[in-house]
Structure 1
Amino acid sequence: MDLSSCASWLSCSKSESVSSVTAGAGERRAAVTEVSDPQDGGITTVVTTGPGPSPASTNSCADDVVPPPKNCYRLVVLGSARVGKTCLVARFLGGKFQESYTPTIEDFHRKLYRIRGEIHQLDILDTSGNHPFPAMRRLSFLTGDLFVIVFSMDSRETFEEAIRLREQILETKVNAASNTTGLTRRKTSPQVPMVLVGNKSDKEMRTVTMDEVQAYVDTQDSSCVFVDTSAKKNYKVDEAFYQLFVIANLPQEMAPNHHKRISASFGAPCPLPPSAPSHHVKKYHLSVKRRLSDACGVVTPNVRRPSIRTDLMIMRTKTCSLGDSPGNSNSSPVRWRRVDNGCVLQ
């Protein structure tokens, strides 16, 4: 065998080994992005390392449930300790309520929707009421697209904390945009979709009245609303999230009672059912009630919280976006672009 033949053989062997390694990495990634959970009916989910769509997969079914970047949103739940933040999230995701209290450090949830043929992804960050990590709380302010601030109707201190949280969110976003762009601080604050939730409205002893909360909200911009709820009685929980999605220009079908909750059978390749063929869908012939009935959503189990590096990249892009588009940041739905394994705003 001459020297040229040896070189040719070595190059072919190297190419084959690289291809096999690449294929192996792809298989491992696919194994991570599709997880089956025997609980809750064995819902199969798509797990990602970022707040946006999961990495591309060779599985056509997995690609079918990956939302487009423009349909990825992050909701942050804030408030004092013991006001019912986690109970509201549990009601929203599964209609459940737990009597016992367990302090929350930080919980991350993801819900996928199919609404009028499009996939939407909602990431929910349930934060701690004790704020053990101020830097992480500030990061949640900057990476959040819409906010639920919870207080208790029987505790004036929690209402005052809710007001402080709203002001801190707006101030943090404005200061970050000013520092990033090098511009002077704008006189008007950005409009951030936000709902003040007065929980525990079933309590007889109230130290906060609905009139004074509404009076405060009336002094704010149109992106802030107030809803009194009771997670224990499941009173107006759906209304709180519905109002939030309305002011955020998101599909109203994302609210709990406006779509069908799907529990995929164990071993199913997709968390959501396949979309109907386009020739079978005639939106202009469907009534509003029928359109809502076609919407469905599923909570993805075992989803991982995005890395701090991903959140920092999101924060940087969002603060630049705030500086580039003064005025109303709520005029259009959230826009994302792909970055590594996640998405950031564009």
Structure 2
Amino acid sequence: MNTTEKLYLPVDGIFEMFNSVAGHRQSRVTHPVLHSNTVLQHPSVSSLSKTGLGIIKTVKGRWRQQDKRVVASRSASSGKRHVSNDRLPKRSVDLLEMGLTKPRNCHRIVVLGAPKVGKTNILRRFLGRDFQEQYEPTIEDFHRKLFHIGGEAYQIDLLDAASERDFPAKRRLSILTGDIFLLVFSLDDRDSFSEVCGLLNEIRTAKAKLVKLKNPAGLSVVTCGNKADLGAQRVVRRSEVTEILGEGVPYFETSAKDGAGLEDMFRAVASLGGLPDETTPSRHQIVSLLTYQSLCIDQRGRRGSRTHGAPCAAVDPLARRPSFTSDLRLVLGSSTKRNKPEKCQIQ
């Protein structure tokens, strides 16, 4: 996951997020020091203030019940997900923790949109799976796809944040930790397009407050009008979409059912995120997770070798979304280049 160097969040805004999630409207969390517009020193990425840890504990308690529903939903559908017959590791594979890749090669794609627009089936296509005809509401889904391309390892995390539609604070946290955004609406549902327009504005606002970007307009956002196979049932026209979203936001019309337009869309996602074209589903071979790990370890042991082999990828069946604490530290923390903590400026 790419880290950010400086944090710019309104004090009232960040504590409003915690208060709204914790549900304590009458006893709001405030911090008198922060209201003095003082620049605070952030001691390290891995450490938070006692107040921050207290907030995390409170919010985690409030979300624990929802998280249990997520786990239950994933467990119920686990029989339908592809799992290799090979012996699997005991926990999910994190290439960065294992020292098998570089931070710049780790990205999180956040998929947002209204219900029933085809987000899950689009992700299934990216993971190399077949279209699923029967609709099942997604509470939250997290996937991890690992690539080996040109002798380098890449890790792409995919978050389908469907449940966060009714939880603005949690959705905002997902936006702040996302590197690439895929906004999906259905061509036969005008309301779903309106929701995508609102999400695009929310992403721009959240990212602008988060960090002083070198290129503020350089957000990696791709919009997708799905269900192009419906034909005459469509109510949203391409000209209308491009007029409202503008030329700066790539737009594709796709069909998760027959695969139309998906390759071009995935290629655009890769290009905006600085990923190789070989990350598109048709450009690599799917291998087992253990085969992938062996390939990465073997490649690391043969440094200087010019033989990279064909592009391949593996899906980690044990992948789970990082904890709330990890995501919050990613947002509140600063980069530690050269092992020196930098300032965390909140104003």
* TM-score normalised by the chain length of structure 2: 0.65
- What SS does the corresponding residue of 2:250 show, helix, strand or coil? strand
Q: Is the 8 A contact 2:289 2:315 kept in 1?
A: no
Pairing partner for 1:243 from 237, 249, 268: 268
**Comparing both chains, which one has the higher relative contact order based on Cα–Cα distances under 8 Å and sequence gaps of 6 or more?**
2
Give how far 1:255 is off: 1.1
Say if 1:279 and 1:177 are closer, same or farther in 2 by CA, change over 3 A: closer
Pairing partner for 1:304 from 320, 325, 331: 320
Aligned length: 255
Q: Is the 8 A contact 1:45 1:271 kept in 2?
A: no
**Cα distance in 1 between the residues matched to 2:210 and 2:293:** 39
Give how far 1:43 is off: 6.7
Q: 2:302 matched to 1:275?
A: no
Greater fraction of residues in strand: 1
**Cα distance in 1 between the residues matched to 2:82 and 2:259:** 27
Q: 2:186 matched to 1:159?
A: no
Pairing partner for 2:220 from 193, 207, 228: 193
Give how far 1:96 is off: 1.3
Query: 2:332 corresponds to which letter in structure 1?
Result: R
Matches within 5 A, 1:5-154: 39-42=83-86, 44=88, 47-48=91-92, 53=95, 55-56=97-98, 66-128=100-162, 131-154=165-188
- What SS does the corresponding residue of 2:165 show, helix, strand or coil? coil
**Cα distance in 1 between the residues matched to 2:256 and 2:127:** 12
Give how far 1:269 is off: 8.6
**Cα distance in 2 between the residues matched to 1:164 and 1:177:** 21
Deviation digits for residues 168-218 of structure 1 (CA, Å, limit 9, x no counterpart) = 10011112337xxxxxxx9x844211110100000021100112223334x
**Cα distance in 1 between the residues matched to 2:155 and 2:254:** 25
Q: Is the 8 A contact 1:261 1:298 kept in 2?
A: yes
Deviation digits for residues 10-57 of structure 1 (CA, Å, limit 9, x no counterpart) = xxxxxxxxxxxxxxxxxxxxxxxxxxx9933427458459xx64544x
Say if 1:113 and 1:300 are closer, same or farther in 2 by CA, change over 3 A: same
Q: Is the 8 A contact 1:41 1:264 kept in 2?
A: no
Deviation digits for residues 96-123 of structure 1 (CA, Å, limit 9, x no counterpart) = 1111111111111001111111111000
**Cα distance in 2 between the residues matched to 1:235 and 1:74:** 24
Q: 2:257 matched to 1:216?
A: no
- What SS does the corresponding residue of 1:131 show, helix, strand or coil? helix
- What SS does the corresponding residue of 1:195 show, helix, strand or coil? strand
**Cα distance in 2 between the residues matched to 1:90 and 1:69:** 25
Say if 1:141 and 1:39 are closer, same or farther in 2 by CA, change over 3 A: closer
Percent identical among aligned pairs is: 36
Give the gaps of 5 or more residues in structure 1.
Answer: 1-36, 57-62, 179-185, 284-292, 322-334, 339-346
Pairing partner for 2:255 from 210, 230, 239: 230
Say if 1:172 and 1:208 are closer, same or farther in 2 by CA, change over 3 A: same
Query: 2:331 corresponds to which letter in structure 1?
Result: M
Query: 2:221 corresponds to which letter in structure 1?
Result: M
**Cα distance in 2 between the residues matched to 1:157 and 1:336:** 44
Say if 1:307 and 1:124 are closer, same or farther in 2 by CA, change over 3 A: same
Query: 2:140 corresponds to which letter in structure 1?
Result: E
CA-atom RMSD, angstroms?
A: 3.1
- Which residue of 2 is the match for residue 295 of structure 1? 311
* TM-score normalised by the chain length of structure 1: 0.66
Q: Is the 8 A contact 1:272 1:297 kept in 2?
A: no
Query: 1:210 corresponds to which letter in structure 2?
Result: R
Give the gaps of 5 or more residues in structure 2.
Answer: 1-80, 340-347
**Cα distance in 2 between the residues matched to 1:336 and 1:108:** 29
**Cα distance in 2 between the residues matched to 1:67 and 1:154:** 42
Give how far 1:302 is off: 1.1
- Which residue of 2 is the match for residue 33 of structure 1? none
**Cα distance in 1 between the residues matched to 2:88 and 2:96:** 14
Say if 1:212 and 1:177 are closer, same or farther in 2 by CA, change over 3 A: same
Give how far 1:307 is off: 0.6
